[in-house]
Structure formats: C-alpha cells, structure tokens
A and B are shown apart, each in its own frame.
Chain A
Amino acid sequence: MELLRAEKLSLNLEGRQILKDLSLSVKSGTIHSILGTNAAGKSSLAYVLIGCCDYNPQCGKIYFLGKDITGYSIQKRAKIGMTLAWQEPARFEGLTVKDYISVGMREKKPGLVEESLHRVLLEPKEYLDRGVDKTLSGGERKRIELAAVFAMKPRLVILDEPDSGIDILALDNIINMIKELRSQGTTVLLITHREEVAKIADKTSLMCSGFIVEEGTPEEMGKYFKEKCIPCPTHFYQAEKDKEKVKEKK
C-alpha cells in the first residue's frame, strides 16, 4: 500500500531551483532511502514533505494515504502521523529530555521515555532531567531526537541524515533502531549520503540536483552512486555557482 506520494514537486528558493519536478512513492511498512551527495536537495525535500513554512512547493502535490495534504501545516501532518527527525535538531533551554520526548507521545505509556532512551544507548538516569540545550553534544542530541521519534510511534518518519555526528560505535545501534521503527509499524524515509546506511532500505531513490535520478534496490543504487555520482562534478559546479551568487548579492 502506498503511504506517501509526492507528485512533480518544484521548489524555488531565492531564485534557485531546489527541487525540479520531483516525484516519489513510499510504500507503507518499508524503509525507503534517499541517497544523494551534498546539495542534492535532500533536506529541502524533507522540509517540503513535513510542511515547513518556508518550504511551500511552487508546483506539485503531496498525498498521504491517498489524501492531498499539500496545504496541511506541520502540526496537521504530525496529527495524521508524519514527523521529521531533524539533521541538526533544535536545542531548548529549560526543557528536559523527559519533557522533550514526552511532547510527541500519543500514548502516555509509563516507562516509554526510559525505554526510548535505552534504544539509543543513553542511560535514562543520566539523561531524563538534563536540558535539551547546548550542554548536549551533537551526537547526544541526535540520539535524543531518535528516541523522541521512537516514543512518538508515527506512521511515517523522515530521518534526515540520522547517522551524521554519530560515532562509529553507535552507528550499528542507530541502524538497528531504524529497523526496529519499521518493525513497530513506522514507515521510514531515510535521507542519507552514506551508501552503507542507505543499504538497510527496502528501496532506494537516488537524488541529484533536485530530482530523483534513479530508483531500485539499495545494492543497485549503491553501485550507480559509486560509479556515476561520486565521479560526477555536477554538485561541485552547483556549489560553486551558489557561492558566486552569494558574492554577487553582497
């Protein structure tokens, strides 16, 4: 069954085309990875799908379980079961880890916050009362983000680079957790630029310069990525063009 469908999404930000006629279909109960180099538009796609207010697509539609949700706010999308684990999660002064994880819990099950922390290898006793603030390292903050998603039990989670800032020892654990999300009934849209992370998916879409280049199994796409994307200079050219534009504006 199709859970999420994006149809011909186009996003233009400050005169730059970020997404170009992008279409995507995500099946319920799967891990679907989006693999692409830096500046391919992966995070922008995540923001469009979740409904961030500065990321309204100029063209295209988004469907969730067949219903057009293109005009839905982030909060409304969360209410129907969508969420995003941010690549660089926000920090909150005065908000404890316990408060933060509890915010999204639809089911206030005793012990769920603690269980979620255990899943990401954080000791609840040490973390429950800590602030979700700048005293946490980047890796700790990312793990707490994943714990919050785990406790929320959404129908669909977009994980934006969940592996970035995570040390090698914790990476296996994060990968296991993503698989566990799937087994608890959460569909995962996994955004990454690392082939070894993308390969845990049931299906992979290869993204470049704002559109989906190719789709297939993670192995097929991994091969394509290594052979064609990594040597391809397109994204470097794009990055250079962006720098020039910034200079011109100044």
Chain B
Amino acid sequence: MQDYRRMLDVYAEAGGSPEAFKNSKVAHLVVHRNKVIGEHLVEGLDLKPRETASGVDIHLIVRKGAIIKYPVHLCFGVLPEEGIQEINIKVRVEDDSGIKLLAHCVFPNAVRVVHKMNADIEVGNNSYYEYDEVHFHGFEGGVEVIPKTKIRVGNNSRLVTNFSLIKGRVGYLDLDYDSEVLNNSSLEMTVKIYGYSDDIIKIKEAGRLIGKSSSGLIKSRVAVKDNAQSEIINELVASAENARGHVDCIEVIQGNAKARAVPIVNVTHELAKVTHEAAIGRVSKKQIETLMSRGLEEEKAIDLVVSGMLK
C-alpha cells in the first residue's frame, strides 16, 4: 500500500493525474518492480498481467468493436535506488476498435536501475492505437532505459506513439521502434528528449509503409548539453503505391554535447514519396536575439526555445 501511494505521488510529480486511478470508468495498471500493485479494468478491455522474476508480462487485448472511451493509465516504476524491471507487453487491438494508453515510467531515486520494455503491438483493421510514454527520472542519471517495440498496423488504421523524457537525467536510453503499416493506414512516432551531464541517447525508429496509400511521420526533438551524446537513426521505407512519409529530426546542442542524426529514406515504388529534414546545431541566434530584444537574458531565452521545442 505504501509503494502504491509513493508511486502515485511520483506519478503526479511526473505530470500524471492520480485522480484517474480512483475513477471507475478509467482502466489502470500500476507496476512497481515486478509487483502489480494496482489494476482496474473496463468493458471491452482484457488486461492480464503476470508477475515474473524480474518484471511483469502483460497481455492487453481490445476486443473487436470496442472503443475504450477514457485513456488507460499505466504506471511503471522502481522506487529504490537499485533494481531491474522488465516489462514484456503484447497488445492486440482487434478490428473496429480503439484505445489510448498513457504510460508513466518513474525512477525518481535511481542510482542503478534497469528498465527494459519489450512490446509487440498489433493493430487490426479500422482501428486506432495511441500510446504516450512519459518518463520521470531522478537526477543521478543511474537509469538504463531500453524500450524495444515491434508494431504492425492493419488496414484503415492509425497508430500514434509519443515518447517523452524531459524530466530528470536520461542516464542511458536505447530506444528501438520498428513498425509496418498496411493499406490506407497511418503511423506517427514522436520522441522528445532532453539530455545533459553525460547522458547517452540512442534512438532508432523505423517505419515500413508497405500498404497502398499508407503514410508515416517520424519526428524527433532532442536537446543535449554538457557532455551528453545523442544518435538518432530514423528510417522510412515506402514500397507501395501512394505511400507517403516524412522524417523530421531536430537536435539542439549546447556545451560539449555531441549529436548525430541519420535519416534513412528508402523508396521502392515509383508512386511513393518520402521526404526528410534534419537539423543539428545550437539554438538559432535569431530566436535568441528576438527573445533578448524583449528583455530576456540569454540563458533564459535558450531555455525557453529548448523547452518549447520539447513541449
């Protein structure tokens, strides 16, 4: 019970809304280390967590025709300074259904914590799946976050993911999302990360637009300062008629930070099109001078530009 309360306190600090956990219309799942400490289901949703030695295996099914009205709240975390948490999650969104998940991953005291997430997501036809993952880390930087996700989006469907790690130190992040999109479906994957000190950020997001008239957007916004390092590999492959995609990557660096961006665009059908834009550099001088001409100090102007980009 104490862990549950503490998790919700940190969840609130991370920007989550703890009231959602008291609302009977809102499904939720709270996992501390390898213990399920809170769960609630709603109609149309099957959610089966099974505790393992190092984490939790989860099967989540949205039944055919079910639209889950309120976002499902997930909270994963490790409260002590050390620990490991491996989440293996299988999601199946059946035909004509939809769900939005809000996941908060909290590691407020981490000195040596590993959080692994292996996700396998299958979205059926005429369906949607939205997944927001917000991380809240402490200031020690002792977290290793390793999310690996395989996604398959059926026909006439939509998938949206947002990954955000802008509160506390990143530590070490190795994110790898791979997705496949069928006919008339869309994919939108966004990451927003702020790294500093000696944080290491590795992002690999791939989208394969194999269906006719499928579309994809892969968007990255990363700011690094001090000695932090980031590497972003964004790949979009379009191999079907009228498939459309865009890769949009902006990295801002300050101090001795290092950033690398590799946009990979691969088109194998004459009627497909993928565009990309990538920019790495310090905050635009014009933006800074504009804000300074309104009276902001340089540091505050930079903070405002960076926080805006990561909002």
Contacts and interface: CB of A to CB of B under 8 A. Distances in A.
A91 to B, nearest CB: 8
Given A75-B298, A103-B291, A94 B310 contact: yes
A43 to B, nearest CB: 12
Contacts, number: 62
A104 B292 contact: no
Chain A CB within 10 Å — which of B290, B292, B308 has the most?
B290
Given A53-B285, A90-B284, A90-B286, A103 B294 contact: yes
B22 interface: no
B308 A74 contact: no
Interface stretch (A63-71, A79-87, A110-118): A79-87
Interface residues of B, number: 23
Interface string A27-53: 000000000000000000000001011
A74 B304 contact: no
Contacts of B297: 75
A168 B8 CA distance: 56
Contacts of B305: 92, 95
Given A52-B289, A53-B285, A79 B295 contact: yes
A83 B296 CA distance: 12
Interface in B269-307: 284-287, 289-298, 304-305, 307
A216 interface: no
A9 interface: no
B295 A78 contact: yes
User: Which bracket fits the contact residues of A?
Assistant: 20 to 34
Contacts of B308: 92-95, 99
Contacts of A79: 295
Nearest to A102: B294
Given A78-B293, A104-B294, A95 B285 contact: no
Contacts of A52: 289
B20 interface: no
A89 B290 contact: yes
Contacts of B311: 94
A226 interface: no
A73 interface: yes
Contacts of A77: 293
A83 B294 contact: yes
Contacts of A90: 284, 286-287, 290
B26 interface: no
A104 B301 CA distance: 12
B293 A83 contact: yes
A94 B305 CA distance: 8
Contacts of A73: 292, 298
A89 B293 CA distance: 12
B295 A106 contact: yes
A225 B291 CA distance: 35
A152 interface: yes
A114 to B, nearest CB: 18
Nearest to A84: B293
B144 to A, nearest CB: 28
Chain B CB within 10 Å — which of A50, A53, A75, A148 has the most?
A75
Nearest to A78: B295
A82 B309 CA distance: 27
A193 to B, nearest CB: 21
6 contacts: A53-B289, A75-B297, A89-B290, A93-B250, A93-B308, A95-B308
Given A75-B296, A79-B295, A104-B294, 4 more contacts: A73-B298, A83-B293, A92-B305, A99-B308
Q: Which 5 A-B pairs have the closest CB atoms?
A: A104-B294, A94-B308, A94-B311, A95-B308, A78-B295
